[in-house]
Amino acid sequence: MKVWKPALVLMMAGLSGQVMAANCSVEISSNDAMQFDKTSISVPQSCKQFTVKLKHSGKMAKNIMGHNWVLTKTADMQGVASDGIAAGLDKSYLKAGDARVIAHTKVIGGGESDTISFAPSKLKAGEAYSFFCSFPGHSGIMKGTVQVTK
Ligand code: CO
């Protein structure tokens, strides 16, 4: 017992260090100028859950300058955005039950925020993922890439 106990303590210290090293959350801000403050984020697969907090630092209402944060494969982004237009604000401009949507916040207006979590295990290393705002007309500018890391 006495021989290997220090090794166990060292191992546990190493493990907790590992957990702290992985950044399992990100805060993204949006504004009245139709912009996100980030164009790329990293999602470590070592995180059990990854949390995204979306803020809207502007003053405009969500029916005028609303923003959400939607995660899809990059190849699905365009289709999800155009299919979402008809869904309307109440459905966060996303088609009901759209299986291409991996995670999303609701649409928020100035001064609001929304936080969501998803399991990075849903993402495949080597696949191209993007995030964007599905408010009609926003995804051309409000988008960024997602790097799946270890
Ligand atoms: Co938007």
What is the full per-residue pLDDT of the chain (150 aa) written as tens digits?
Answer: 454 455 544 455 445 444 455 799 999 999 999 999 999 999 999 999 999 999 999 999 999 999 999 999 999 999 999 999 999 999 999 999 999 999 999 999 999 999 999 999 999 999 999 999 999 999 999 999 999 999
Ligand 1 center–CA 100 separation, angstroms: 19
Q: Which pair of structure tokens corresponds to residue 46? A: 């070592």
Give the position of tokens 């990854």.
50
Ligand 1 centroid, distance to 2 Cα (angstroms): 59
Please give the distance, rounded to the nearest whole angstrom, from the Cα atom of residue 118 to the centre of ligand 1.
21
Q: What angle do CA 91, 122, 36 make, to 5 degrees?
A: 55
Cα 148 to averaged position of ligand 1 atoms, centre (Å): 24
- 117 and 84 in contact (C-beta within 8 Å)? no
pTM: 0.86
DSSP, res 16: H
3-state secondary structure of 136: coil
> What are the chain's domains?
24-149 (2.60.40.420)
User: How far away, in angstroms, is 29 Cα from ligand 1 center?
Assistant: 11
